[in-house]
Structure 1
Amino acid sequence: MKRSLRVPFSLLLLIALATAVTLLGAARRSIPSQPSGSPFLSPLSAVPNVTLVRLASADVGVEELRKEVDELIDRELPLPGRGRQRSISLYRSGNHLQARPRSMVRLRTTKDFRVLPEFRRLLQGWIRRLRFQPEVMVELADLVKGSIDRHLGRVEGERRRYGSCAVVGNSGILLKSDHGTLIDSHDLVIRLNNARIEGYQRNVGSKTGLSFVNSNILHLCARRVGCFCHPYGDTVPIIMYICQPAHLLDYTVCNSSHKAPLLITDPRFDLLCGRIVKYYSLKLFVEETGKAPEEWAKTHDQKLFHYSSGMQAIMLAVGVCDQVSVFGFGKATDAKHHYHTNQKAELDLHDYKAEYVLYQDLVERPQVIPFLKDSGFKVPPVVFYH
């Protein structure tokens, strides 16, 4: 009679553990490494954290904005003086430009003063739409491309979205990239904050279809005769997000003199971008420090914390384009900060590192992005060039 072979349980356990470790190592080796020069970090957990979502949903600065708008609406604004220029100072000092001299909108003619009722109307409409509604992503094509087409007299319904779009950032990694021809091959080229292209066409291209700026840029342009703010030509549409409600006066004055469309990002879109970036900043903070997410506020000014112009320009392209290509985002030790300036560093009210994690999710797994995944919107293909 044959005796059955009995293997000790402890030996079986050791064999199982060894097999698991071997398989795990093989799986890790099969994951492709990030390309050289990539701004992306290692991916964070794909499952949105309920606590982080709750904290990111706290729109700390919104109530303050509402009070600010109420004050502007209720403020008694001056009547035009005879033959004189009048200045109206409506700007708080605690903003993006606090290190620069404060400036004012200068209303030069009686015609300029006629915009004041329109300014109040815009304020009321803007603050009324400042609410969380992620479905705005579905409306972006009509809000942006539709508005531009109608302004230019194009046939409505000809095409709801742009085919291919290039978002061109300002990073020094663009120098010696030779991306100019590739950038210009896109249907729409979006540039940021009036970055210079003259002398850099080989690397950044020469074509511009949409200029994306923050309202501080237009505020500076408003001090010029005719509100000239068109380094790419006065027929190129401009879209901007509002940094502070008083900048709507700049928009109101300048919009009457601009040939090309001058658009404002929908405040619902602003709020969506704000929540997304705050979530990724909170998540990265917890991953890197091991601290409770509630401690994030100790290292970030919640009222001033903001997404970058580049981040919102990319999200805008995602909303209005069938394919999105991104250039000039990311850093390199041997590259200038900006390709066209001598600026050394960015503003600390942005979390660029967290934004790069968001970009990786846009490329690889957009379905996990908190708030965006609740919009019912399908993210198009996104590619980053380095």
Structure 2
Amino acid sequence: MIKRSVRPLFSVVFVFAAAAATLCFRTILSGGAGDSFIASDAGLTQKLPPVFNATLLTFAAVDLGQDSLKQNVEQLVDGNFRTARNNRQRSFLSAGRYRLDIGARSARGGPIDLRSPEFYRLWLEFRRYLQDWWRHRHFDPDIMSNMVNVLKTSKMAGISGSGKKYKTCAVVGNSGILLNHNLGSAIDNHEFVIRLNNARIGGFERFVGSKTSLSFMNSNILHLCARRGGCFCHPYGEKVPIMMYMSQVAHFLDYTICNSSHKSPLMITDPRLDVLTARIVKYYSVNRFLKETGKPLEAWASVHGGPEFHYSSGMQAIMFALGVCQKVSIFGFGKSDSAKHHYHTNQKTELSLHDYLAEYDLYQDLVKSPEAIPFVSDKFKFPTVIMHR
């Protein structure tokens, strides 16, 4: 997961801005994304679009780790990894704060000669991928309407050149609540099935199904897979495409090394989708925090990790599905005192840098009132969403 420090000057600016925003605290509590109604000529009521609080929107749009992330990208792009030491072959390359492990991960399966054309090619590709990602990392409210273009260029089955969407999609989370119902057949009946973070399905088919159309993960998973021979990261089969979001920019090296060895598409989420998802989850998290605690805006960061706060893999996968599917069914999202955190592991606690309750608020709005979701362009029409609990 992303763990980034905030530079002192940025911290001062943020505290000042947060303190100023607190002046509108009472307005936020009373003027959130509630529904408004007016009387029609026939005496009936007509539902109007929700009115978003400008202060809360502005606060949610602030990326606390942006300054630090920019510095990290610059270090990686400008670092001279080839001359860090005198060894021609080594497992780690160092530049600044980064030590990038490339030992025994070349296309040949052995150490990479740092003076070889192979390393030079990898280095140039690594920089190109990272620079292109950073160049496109900005807020774009229309990005949801462009999600199908990602699949068109990746040659994934079911997406035509015209940008046709899948009719039905299932996003399968990893919550232990899946073990409460036999939903395997219902999941497999969808045209397109997305699974998360290489969750095991063997032995759980009657609960979670067996069909997988897309493996969605964070880049920490690929980083672990890259240490294996051939960058093996295919628990659902070598022909299943993989999509991931970059939780650490150094993982672009893993992507660079593994990309050529994958028999199916290995894709990275559009950074504009990353920015949009981050703003939305922060909006819901802050809104819940203010209503539940009554504390001022600036107190939110200390409770939710500040620059380390991040959306979950599941939320990002759902956001992606909203853009490529006509109907989205959500399985395995939610908690229960009687259910395990993950259906396939014994993990008992959640990651503190995620606000799962805020994400569940978002999912409820997707089902009942998608117009209440901020930052998304009015041009985008949300698909029908069904949540199975």
1:141 maps to which residue?
148
**1:138–1:377 Cα contact (<8 Å) kept:** yes
Confirm or deny: 8 A CA contact 1:90 1:104 kept in the other structure: no
TM-score norm. by structure 1 comes to 0.81
Distance 1:60 1:356 in 2: 23
What is the match of residue 23 of structure 1?
Answer: none
Q: Is the 8 A contact 2:196 2:217 kept in 1?
A: yes
State how many pairs are aligned.
330
| Greater RCO, 1 or 2 (C-alpha within 8 Å, sep 6+) | 1
**Conservation of the 8 A alpha-carbon contact between 1:91 and 1:246:** no
Counterpart-to-counterpart distance in 2, 1:346 and 1:297:
18
Query: Is contact 1:234-1:259 (8 Å) kept?
Result: yes
- CA deviation after TM superposition for structure 1 residue 155, in Å: 8.1
d(CA) in 2 for partners of 1:77 and 1:375?
Answer: 46
**Larger CA Rg, structure 1 vs 2:** 1
Correspondence 1:166 to 2:170: yes
1:159, distance to aligned residue in structure 2 (A): 5.4
Return the alpha-carbon distance in structure 1 between the equivalents of residues 298 and 210 of structure 2. 46
C-alpha displacement of 1:375: 5.3
Match of 1:367, SS state, is helix
Matching residue of 2:382: 379
1:231 to 229, 232, 235: 235
Which consecutive residues of structure 1, in runs of 5 or more, have no partner in the other structure?
1-44, 94-101
Give 1:336 deviation, angstroms.
1.1
Distance 1:209 1:81 in 2: 46
Q: Tell me the distance in 1 between the aligned counterparts of 2:300 and 2:159.
A: 49
Counterpart in the other structure of 1:355: 359
- Which position in structure 1 is the counterpart of 2:35? none
Q: Which runs of 4+ in 1 moved over 4 A?
A: 79-85, 89-93
Q: Deviations over 1:192-242 (max 9, x none)?
A: 000000000000000000000000000111111110000000110000000
Give the counterpart letter for 1:147 in structure 2: T
Map of 1:104 onto structure 2: 101
2:41 alignment partner in structure 1: none
Counterparts of 1:235-274 in structure 2, within 5 Å, are 235-274=239-278
Whichever residue aligns with residue 198 of structure 1, its letter is G
Counterparts of 1:112 and 1:239, CA distance in 2: 25
1:155–1:333 distance in 2 versus 1, CA, 3 Å = closer
**How far 1:176 sits from its partner (Å)?**
3.6
Q: Contact conserved, 1:89 with 1:105, CA < 8 A, in 2?
A: no
TM-score, scaled relative to structure 2:
0.80
Amino acid at match of 2:139: F
CA RMSD of aligned residues (A): 2.3
Rounded to whole Å, the distance in 2 between the matches of 1:84 and 1:126 is 29
Partner of 2:329: helix, strand, or coil? Answer: strand
Aligned partners of 2:95 and 2:251: how far apart in 1? 9
CA contact 2:80–2:95 (8 Å) conserved in 1:
no
Q: For structure 2, list consecutive stretches of 5 or more residues without a partner in the other structure.
A: 1-48
56-65 vs 289-298, which moves further: 289-298
Task: Measure, in 1, the Cα distance between the counterparts of 2:62 and 2:86.
Answer: 45
Per-residue CA deviation, residues 74-130 of structure 1 (Å, 9 max, x unaligned), is 10021799984543357969xxxxxxxx98232523435521101011111111111
User: Does the Cα contact within 8 Å between 2:93 and 2:100 map onto a contact in 1?
Assistant: no
Percentage of matched positions with identical amino acids? 54
Secondary structure at the counterpart of residue 244 of structure 2: strand
Shift of 1:177: 1.0
Q: 1:112–1:253: 8 Å Cα contact kept in structure 2? A: no
Equivalent AA in structure 2 for residue 271 of structure 1: V
SS of 1:66's partner is helix
